[in-house]
Chain A
Amino acid sequence: MDEERGNRGEPSDAAQWYELFSRGARDWLRHDEKVREAVRANLPEMIAGGDVINGGARTVRVPVRMLEHYHFRLRRPEEQQGAGQGKAKPGDVFSAPGREQGQGEKGPGGRDEGEVQLLLEFKIDDIVDWLWEAMKLPNLKARVGPSEETDWIREGWDRHGARSRLDRRRSFKELVKRRAAPGATQTFIDEDLRYRQLARRRQPALHAVVFFMLDVSGSMSDRDRKLAKTFFFWVVQGLRREYRSLETLFVAHTTEAWEFNEPDFFQVSGTGGTVASTGLAKVREIIDARYNPGRCNIYLFYASDGDNSVSDAADARSALSAIAADACFTGYVEVSSGLSRQLATETGKLFAELQAAGCAAGSYALNDFEDVWGAVRHFFTAEAQAPESQAPESP
């Protein structure tokens, strides 16, 4: 009997792999990968919700549930019977307990696995790439103009230079030329060597300024502002794909207009009526004061519930055409979490006129977070197809 027990208790060699390898962790990683695939497949719906955007960070957090490996199960009955233990008399009534404590020794048996949520973190750059790929969004047409910015570009050759810029092909040509003469040395000499040179040259402008104009009048609810914020956020991400440098400017208006910085912008709420022309005039003022329209690409996105005061129509129209003349694109999103009027509003009409006049403009009615992607898709497609003409033939 003793011989049979030879292996008992001895530290066997095989015992060591326990420490080195965790099957649980391996299968967990596979689960994680599957979740990421699933998230990627449903990305637009999952991140349209406003909560995923944390100010300024380059990642978004997406709450996901753990995947379930499905089995056949019975439908949840209206009344579930069970057996319990303790001091309870027939007829006693309790309200639902919190999670029951002490589920036994073996842990979850796959019956009721509680609700554990994971927070997955994704890089915004990755997400935007996936989205543009998935939504087949066109790349934007940037307006290129001369700019103050200069950059080093490769230009010409010299006999001296850094070793790393040695142009071997060119040097070899020199060698061949020189060897054609009788009595020349057969191997490379210093005079054969050619180095690429760099020069500072002006670069075409790839600079964009995006104006986000938000109507903060009394009729805009918190939810409307949040919708607008979510939309603006993804617009910035999309434009950032295209432009090396992107400036964002925030303008809010009621019957007056103010410029804000980003954190404050979305907190602002005002009271009173809506006079869109004040906001548009403010944008124009900023453009005139700080930017040269020929050198940078100007975008304007305007979010409002559309209730512009009727008396403002003429002013707003002229202010808008003044901006549209210099802008690459002007977009209008109508946020209304209540009833949707499908752009049949004062402001909606303004933008429709602008578009009819052949300007690069577009409008979209945004009623719910699910529509955010529709809106982004709409504007980026519209922008890419927009006519090249810059000045509208105003009536």
Chain B
Amino acid sequence: MSEGWQSYVRRIEELAARSGLEFHRVDFEAVPDSFMMEIAVYGLPVRMPHWSFGVRYIYQLIQRHMGHSRLFEVVFPGNPGHAYLAASNGLAENILVTAHVLGHADFARNNLLFRRCQEQVSEHIVEHAANHARQIQQAIETHGAQRVEAALDAALALEQHVDVDQPLRRERYPEFLVDPKALVEDQFRKRFAALEPLAGGSAIEVKKRAPLPPHPERDLLWFVANYAPEMESWERDIFLAVREESFYFYPVFATQIMNEGWASYWHARLLREADFIPQQAYLDAIKCHSDVVRPVAAETQVALNINPYHLGFAMWEKIVEKNGLPAARAIMQQDDDFSFVRNQLTRELADELGLFRYSARSDGQIKVLEHDLTALHEAVLAPKYNFGAPIVCASHVRNDGTLELTHDSTVDGRGLDLERSRKVLDYLQRVWRRPIVLTTVNQAGSALELTAP
């Protein structure tokens, strides 16, 4: 890390604080490019080993060789936050990245979704993840790499299937049904309760066992960890470790457009206002900024995807311009990408940015659809619903331990990919150790059952 950059950090922080950003202290660390790449692949600086990360690692390597992606920084929210900077960054890039990181830190401290998840996971996810990695390493030593891998195959395949609306440390379901009639506090019951209990055994309470689960359960990781009939405790720990990391990843995923846009807005603004930055560094930094937030369509005229940095940045500029900073801060605190896009992406802005909706047929023909703002919102948000995964619930556990899973095809609009689903069931069956049945629909829309084994 260049010495020159060090002297600016303090001044950028002061400027950010003056501009109204509220953030926890951030520890910056310069790391080699190879390590940056691994952070991007694993999502966390130290994380559990699994072969699927190896696949992503190779794809990342290929991309880097093709010059597609360059990583400047990765930041982890927390108190203090951790920011990793690529050691190859120049001075201008580091100045830009510092401002960008402070934007993220502000966002992570104030956005409600982030705050709630951080309350659950604590503000030390980096340390927790490292701890999980260590636990799993120990499990490998005790139980063998193959068994641990089988558990991780299943747990990581379900990593999106968590329910962040429930607490991280969640109680098991009540074992017995509560008789609703017993709760009615009428006159008779009060008097009856006041009576001396009879000497005989007439106080037999007939308790009814609650069905398992009492309602369709979305949090498959939690459900399996708690109710798998023959799972070993270290396997449950693996499931819960993956679940905790998913709780951390959820807000990052569900606020990507807002969060990246916010950080980009602030690095641009702080750079403009920072009169202490030398002319050349400022120019370089602005050039770097425009690379980051440029629309994908810049060169090719038409792109079939949208750069979230660009979209978020443009939206925040508009909001601050129209409603002022306090209103923007309120939006930043209360929204996630769903409400943000639906409420703030106006017709006018969509036209200005040239956003459009298209449909792609399987034969490769792509057709631009007519303007429809609501449908455009949904097209932008579609990949983000339910953590980007189909809605699969645990609906019943039979007496013999058979797990029934149900896919909600009415909400998702179509059935599951059968080949992949079968493989996921195979993974899961190895830890559930009893049969599993999954109900979804086929192409014609009629119910279809997949079973494992």
Residues of chain A at the chain B interface (Cβ within 8 Å):
4-5, 7-9, 12, 15, 18-19, 22-32, 34, 66-97, 100-108, 110-111, 113-114, 116
Residues in chain B near residue A32, CB distance under 8 A: 54
Interface check B358, CB cutoff 8 A: yes
Contacts A9-B1, A31-B51 given; indicate if A19 touches B306 (C-beta within 8 A).
Answer: no
Starting from the known contacts A85-B305, A85-B353, 15 additional A-B residue pairs (CB-CB under 8 Å) come to A24-B42, A30-B50, A30-B54, A67-B55, A72-B390, A74-B415, A75-B443, A79-B362, A82-B305, A83-B376, A85-B296, A94-B366, A100-B303, A104-B296, A104-B309
- Contact in complex: B362, A78 (CB < 8 Å): yes
Residues in chain B near residue A66, CB distance under 8 A: 55, 58
- Contact in complex: A22, B362 (CB < 8 Å): no
- Contact in complex: A100, B304 (CB < 8 Å): yes
Residues in chain A near residue B416, CB distance under 8 A: 72-75
- Contact in complex: A74, B68 (CB < 8 Å): no
- Contact in complex: B305, A86 (CB < 8 Å): no
A111 to B371, CA, bound (A): 26
A81 to B377, CA, bound (A): 12
Residue of B nearest to A103 (CB): B68
Residue of A nearest to B367 (CB): A93
From residue B338, how far is it (CB to closest CB) to chain A in Å? 14
Contact of B355 among A18, A24, A84, A97 (CB under 8 A): A84
A164 to B158, CA, bound (A): 63
- Contact in complex: B59, A77 (CB < 8 Å): no
Contacts A30-B54, A93-B366, A94-B366 given; indicate if A71 touches B424 (C-beta within 8 A).
Answer: yes
Residues in chain A near residue B9, CB distance under 8 A: 8
The 7 closest A-B pairs by CB, nearest first: A96-B364, A27-B54, A24-B57, A28-B54, A69-B52, A86-B297, A86-B302
Interface check B277, CB cutoff 8 A: no
- Contact in complex: B309, A105 (CB < 8 Å): yes
Contact of B389 among A4, A71, A87, A89 (CB under 8 A): A71
- Contact in complex: A30, B51 (CB < 8 Å): yes
From residue B452, how far is it (CB to closest CB) to chain A in Å? 12
Interface check B40, CB cutoff 8 A: yes
- Contact in complex: A90, B51 (CB < 8 Å): no
From residue A154, how far is it (CB to closest CB) to chain B in Å? 45
Residues in chain A near residue B364, CB distance under 8 A: 95-96
Interface check B62, CB cutoff 8 A: yes
Q: Mask for B401-414, Cβ within 8 A of A = 1, else 0?
A: 00000010000111
Name the segment of B24-32, B199-207, B279-287, B329-337 touching the other chain: B24-32
Residue of B nearest to A28 (CB): B54
- Contact in complex: B355, A105 (CB < 8 Å): no
Interface check B95, CB cutoff 8 A: no
Contact of B51 among A4, A34, A76 (CB under 8 A): A34
Residues in chain B near residue A105, CB distance under 8 A: 69, 71, 292, 309
Interface check B63, CB cutoff 8 A: yes
Interface check B354, CB cutoff 8 A: yes
- Contact in complex: B359, A106 (CB < 8 Å): no
A72 to B303, CA, bound (A): 28
- Contact in complex: B40, A107 (CB < 8 Å): yes
Residues in chain B near residue A90, CB distance under 8 A: 356, 368-371
Residue of A nearest to B34 (CB): A22
Residues in chain B near residue A7, CB distance under 8 A: 27
- Contact in complex: B49, A82 (CB < 8 Å): no
Residues in chain A near residue B29, CB distance under 8 A: 12, 15
Q: Which of A78, A83, A105 is packed against the most chain B CB atoms within 10 Å? A: A83
Residues in chain A near residue B382, CB distance under 8 A: 81-82
Contact of A106 among B69, B158, B362, B415 (CB under 8 A): B69
A23 to B50, CA, bound (A): 9
A78 to B414, CA, bound (A): 11
Interface check B179, CB cutoff 8 A: no
- Contact in complex: B368, A85 (CB < 8 Å): no
From residue A373, how far is it (CB to closest CB) to chain B in Å? 25
Residue of B nearest to A29 (CB): B54
Interface check B153, CB cutoff 8 A: yes
Residues in chain A near residue B234, CB distance under 8 A: none
Residues in chain B near residue A114, CB distance under 8 A: 59
From residue A189, how far is it (CB to closest CB) to chain B in Å? 57
A110 to B303, CA, bound (A): 20
- Contact in complex: B357, A83 (CB < 8 Å): yes
Residues in chain B near residue A110, CB distance under 8 A: 56
A247 to B38, CA, bound (A): 53
Residues in chain A near residue B392, CB distance under 8 A: 72
- B408-453 residues with Cβ-Cβ distance < 8 A to A are 412-418, 420-421, 423-424, 427, 443
